[in-house]
């Protein structure tokens, strides 16, 4: 264990000053003792130098040990080992640098874990439609099944799934890197909700889509295409899990300086422990649910990024007695 007698001092400048003063004082003390003992000048100077250097080494070693540790840790991290950390043994600038180094290492390890998870999840999501397409095409080529319209529609659906997944991945990548700027303008909230409801009604004819806006002339400041993407995803999720012959509600209102959008359904809802996790990439509340039924798990992650780019917030809430409420709050 390295002894650091100056560990409590919070400034490296003060530490260096202490070391210099201590070395000078030691040299003078040894010289005075040598004079009292009638030692020769050369001997006195040599003894004073040895003692002063030894003391400086002892005191300086504790000051510089985090720097040497960081050098070794940086070399190991460059070789791919992100588990190495540095022991911060002081409270000065070097110690704070060591703490910042450890924080950086934690962030890099978290990013690396996310990268690995992303690769694994993307591989899993792509494997399902690709495997289905390959099996179907092999059967057609081998003459096992004829190329009937029903079969071709199934193959087309798998291709569309692949296209949606790739598009979502590219969209998420652009949003995270800041490469997708917003084209903001002020537009009526009614136009946005009516378009979203009309599109949803085409895909879910067994559901009713009800739009309510308060006040009726409520305007929104934002990117209409991106906000359409957010609300379209929320309504699509609501329609996927809502029972037939029920109503999905789309509302917009101004509250406390915010424009608040809500999408409400009467489906099974989201478990309480998953309310905050549904906006994570590839997270699905029911891991046993097939991708065909449950989506890719990217839509809500993209929605969160878009809302945060607008300076807003998005959250999921339980609805009584059953169902889910998705809330989007944007600055008015």
Can you tell me the distance from the alpha carbon of 298 to that of 125, in angstroms, rounded to the nearest whole number? 11
| Structural domain that includes position 240 | 185-331
My answer on whether 192 and 173 are in the same domain is no
Residue 123 inside a domain? The answer is: yes
Find how far residue 219's CA is from the centre of its chain.
Answer: 31
Q: In degrees to the nearest 10, what's the CA dihedral of 118, 121, 123, 129? A: -140
Q: Look at residue 5 and tell me if it is in a domain.
A: no
Task: Tell whether 197 and 312 lie within a shared domain.
Answer: yes
Cβ contact 263:325 at 8 Å:
yes
- Domain assignment of residue 4, yes or no: no
pLDDT of residue 289: 46
pTM for this structure? 0.60
203 and 232 co-located in one domain: yes
Q: 73-90 burial, b if ≥16 CB within 10 A, otherwise e?
A: beeebeeeebebebebbb
Q: Would you say residue 3 lies in a domain?
A: no
Same-domain pairing of 197 and 317: yes
Cβ(207)–Cβ(242) under 8 Å? yes
Residue 127 has which token pair?
């494997």
And the tokens for 190? 């009614």
Identify the pLDDT of residue 299: 82
* 157 shares its domain with 52: no
Query: Would 2 be classed as within a structural domain?
Result: no
Residue-wise pLDDT tens digits, 102-150: 888 888 888 787 777 777 767 766 777 788 788 888 888 888 888 888 8
Same domain, 203 and 325: yes
Q: What pLDDT score was predicted for residue 330?
A: 94
Residues 134 and 34 in one domain: no
Looking at the fold, whether 190 and 311 belong to one and the same domain comes out as yes
- Tell me, yes or no, whether 143 and 18 share the same domain: no
- Are residues 208 and 323 located together in one domain of the fold? yes
**Which of residues 70, 105, 140 is at a domain's end?**
105
1 within some domain: no
Contact 234, 295 (CB under 8 A): no
pLDDT score recorded for residue 161: 75
For residue 6, being part of any structural domain is answered with no
CATH number for position 216: 3.30.565.10
Alpha carbons 4 and 60: distance in angstroms, whole number = 8
Distance CA 175, CA 57 (A): 52
Residues 101 and 191 in one domain: no
Asked if residue 42 and residue 163 are part of one domain, the reply reads no
CA distances from 55 to 22, 59, 65 (A): 8, 6, 16
**At 126, which CATH number?**
1.10.287.130
Total tally of structural domains belonging to the chain: 3
From the centroid of its chain, how far is CA 271? 22
Integer angstrom CA distances of residue 295 from 141, 202, 259, 281, 300? 30, 19, 28, 12, 10
Question: Which regions of the chain are under pLDDT 50?
Answer: 1-3, 287-293
How far the first Cα of the chain sits from its last, in Å, is 59
Nearest to 175 by CA among 279, 282, 305: 305
């Amino acid at each position: 264990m390295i002894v650091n007698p100056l560990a409590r001092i919070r400034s490296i400048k003060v530490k260096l000053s202490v070391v210099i003063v201590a070395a000078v004082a030691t040299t003078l003390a040894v010289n005075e003792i040598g004079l009292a003992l009638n030692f020769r000048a050369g001997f006195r100077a040599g003894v004073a130098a040895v003692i002063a250097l030894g003391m400086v080494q002892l005191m300086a070693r504790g000051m510089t040990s985090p720097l040497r540790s960081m050098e070794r840790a940086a070399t190991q991290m460059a070789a791919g080992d992100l588990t190495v950390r540095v022991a911060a043994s002081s409270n000065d600038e070097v110690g704070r640098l060591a703490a910042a180094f450890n924080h950086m290492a934690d962030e890099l390890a978290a990013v690396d874990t996310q990268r690995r998870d992303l690769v694994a999840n993307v591989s899993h999501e792509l494997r399902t439609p690709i495997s289905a397409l390959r099996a179907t095409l092999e059967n057609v080529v081998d003459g096992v099944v004829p190329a009937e319209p029903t079969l071709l529609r199934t193959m087309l659906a798998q291709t569309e799934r692949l296209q949606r997944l790739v598009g979502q991945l590219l969209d998420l990548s652009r949003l995270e890197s800041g490469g997708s700027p917003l084209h903001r303008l002020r537009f009526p909230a009614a136009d946005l909700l009516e378009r979203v409801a009309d599109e949803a009604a085409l895909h879910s004819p067994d559901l009713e889509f009800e739009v309510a806006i308060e006040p009726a002339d409520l305007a929104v400041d934002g990117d209409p295409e991106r906000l359409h993407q957010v609300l379209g995803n929320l309504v699509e999720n609501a329609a996927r899990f809502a029972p037939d012959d029920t109503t999905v509600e789309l509302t917009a209102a101004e509250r406390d300086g915010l424009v608040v959008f809500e999408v409400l359904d009467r489906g099974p809802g989201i478990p309480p422990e998953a309310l905050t996790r549904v906006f994570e990439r590839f997270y699905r509340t029911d891991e046993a649910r097939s991708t065909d039924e449950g989506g890719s798990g990217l839509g809500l992650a993209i929605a969160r990024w878009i809302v945060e780019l607008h300076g807003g917030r998005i959250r999921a809430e339980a609805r009584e007695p059953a169902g889910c409420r998705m809330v989007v709050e944007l600055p008015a």
